[in-house]
């Protein structure tokens, strides 16, 4: 008799992950990768003991209240958990896990790409090439900024921030950071701590955002804070759109109060993003692909599976958030 717990997988995961998951659990898969509505999700959840979702599924307090009581866990395929009302999950005694560590390299790579793309006007250059508009070369043509030797400000010096700092040191960047508390000297590796966001902004040429989205960080990068940055500054965001006030960033980019931005995450993504971004030459835009490498997506899946195995073995999962 097969009495494996049933796991509802909300999106199409890498084949290797789905195969491994099926070794341990009965699975409800989504081979067509349909984006479920809350009602569809709740309906499917009646057949499951746990859910393995992505950040694309919103677990509001209302949805969590309606989850069948047999649902023991929400084992996310993401490090971010802002799509889950954690307090509601706690009240309902639903375990919530995430997938930290395994996406730090991939996300730091995208932060570097955004930084370089924004600084060297990659978006404009690519557009010129793709539309066959390149007519001339001159010393003044498409001149951008050099990243080498500049000051990088990391807002949120957690796992991704620390990997980015290592990569940026390869460009001889001088690392500054803000966290609620300084990190251990060994991990900081000489990075300069600032005890406020404002103090950090006053000292940097590039700001890279790595703090999670929460009530405390919502709209943290607003017009007052952007005004502290100098006019050649670049803003990079690979964390969550909610940390940035889009109107304020658009205004800063339009007015020239900062030079450029590189963005991978947005308020209202994917289909309700501030339309102004797409009209600006000085932004380099990507569609939330920070963790989108084969290596990382597999590792995220395996990490979620390990968490589920621990939960159904009655152990505390490694990545328990709630
Ligand atoms: C994460 O893991 O949080 C990524 O943004 C994908 O959801």
Distance 79 CA to ligand 1 centre (A): 5
CA 81 to chain centre: 10
Contact by Cβ (8 Å): 269, 241: yes
142-158 per-position pLDDT tens digit:
999 999 999 999 999 99
Distance in angstroms (rounded) separating the CA atoms of residues 73 and 89: 9
Helix (H, G, I), strand (E, B) or coil at 23: helix
Contacting residues for 266 by C-beta, under 8 A, at least 6 apart = 241, 246, 273, 274, 277, 288
pLDDT of residue 2: 63
Q: Are 154 and 177 in contact (CB under 8 A)?
A: yes
Does the pLDDT value for residue 164 go beyond 50?
A: yes
- What is the DSSP secondary structure assignment for residue 320, as one 8-state letter? B
- 200 has a pLDDT exceeding 60: yes
Pocket test for ligand 1, best of 78, 209, 237, 288 (most atoms within 8 A of CB): 78
Give residues with Cβ within 8 angstroms of 23, minimum separation 6. Answer: none
Q: What is the pLDDT of residue 186?
A: 97
DSSP 316: P
- For residue 12, which of 47, 42, 53, 50 has the smallest C-alpha distance? 53
pLDDT tens sequence across 81-128 = 999 999 999 999 999 999 999 999 999 999 999 999 999 999 999 999
Domain 104-285: which CATH class? Answer: alpha beta
Q: Which of 47, 84, 41, 86 is nearest to 66 (CA)?
A: 41
Could you please state the CATH topology (level 3) that the domain comprising 6-102+294-312 is classified under.
Answer: Rossmann fold (3.40.50)
- pLDDT above 90 covers a percentage of the chain that reads 99
d(CA 120, CA 260): 10
pLDDT reported for residue 1: 46
15 CA to middle of ligand 1, Å? 19
Vertex 79 angle, CA 70 and 192, to 5°? 150
**Catalytic machinery residues:** 240, 269, 288
Query: Is residue 77 scored above 60 in pLDDT?
Result: yes
pLDDT band for position 3 (50/70/90)? Answer: confident
pTM, full prediction: 0.97
How do residues 202-259 score in pLDDT, each as one tens digit? 999 999 999 999 999 999 999 999 999 999 999 999 999 999 999 999 999 999 999 9
56 CA closest ligand 1 atom index: 7
Give the chain's radius of gyration (CA, Å): 21
Residues having CB within 6 Å of any atom of ligand 1: 54-55, 78-80, 103, 290-291
Would you say the CATH fold of 104-285 matches that of 6-102+294-312? yes
Structure token pair of residue 61: 């307090």
Q: Torsion over CA of 134, 139, 141 and 147, rounded to 10 degrees?
A: 130
Contact 284, 310 (CB under 8 A): no
Which class for 20: exposed (0-12), middle (13-18), buried (19 or more C-beta within 10 A)?
A: middle
Q: Whose CA is nearest to atom 3 of ligand 1?
A: 80
Locate the domains of the chain by residue range: 6-102+294-312, 104-285
* 17-50 per-position pLDDT tens digit: 999 999 999 999 999 999 999 999 999 999 999 9
DSSP structure class, residue 14: P
Average pLDDT, the chain: 98
């Amino acid at each position: 008799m097969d009495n494996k717990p049933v796991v509802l997988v909300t999106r199409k995961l890498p084949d290797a992950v789905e195969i491994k998951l099926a070794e341990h659990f009965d699975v409800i898969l989504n081979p067509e990768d349909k984006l479920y509505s809350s009602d569809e999700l709740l309906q499917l959840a009646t057949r499951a003991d746990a859910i393995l979702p992505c950040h694309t599924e919103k677990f509001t307090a209302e949805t969590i209240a309606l989850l069948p009581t047999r649902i023991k866990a929400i084992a996310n395929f993401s490090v971010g958990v802002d799509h889950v009302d954690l307090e509601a999950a706690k009240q309902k005694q639903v375990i919530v896990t995430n997938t930290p560590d395994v996406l730090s390299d991939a996300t730091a790579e995208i932060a570097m790409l955004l930084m370089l793309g924004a600084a060297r006007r990659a978006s404009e250059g690519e557009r010129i090439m793709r539309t066959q508009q390149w007519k001339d070369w001159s010393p003044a043509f498409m001149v951008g900024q050099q990243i080498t030797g500049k000051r990088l400000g990391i807002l949120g010096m957690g796992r991704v921030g620390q990997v980015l700092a290592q990569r940026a040191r390869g460009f001889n960047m001088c690392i500054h950071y803000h966290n609620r508390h300084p990190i251990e000297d060994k991990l900081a590796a000489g990075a300069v701590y600032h005890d406020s966001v404002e103090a950090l902004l006053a000292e940097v040429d590039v700001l890279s955002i790595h703090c999670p989205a929460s009530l405390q960080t919502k709209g943290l990068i607003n017009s007052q804070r952007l005004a502290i940055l100098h006019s050649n500054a670049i803003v990079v965001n690979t964390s969550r759109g909610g940390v940035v006030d889009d109107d304020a960033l658009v205004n800063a980019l339009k007015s020239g109060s900062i030079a450029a931005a590189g963005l991978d995450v947005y308020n209202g993504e994917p289909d309700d993003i501030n339309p102004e971004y797409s009209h600006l030459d000085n932004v380099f835009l990507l569609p939330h692909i920070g963790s989108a490498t084969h290596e990382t997506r597999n590792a995220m899946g395996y990490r979620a599976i390990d968490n589920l195995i621990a939960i159904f073995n009655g152990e505390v999962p490694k990545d328990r958030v709630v």
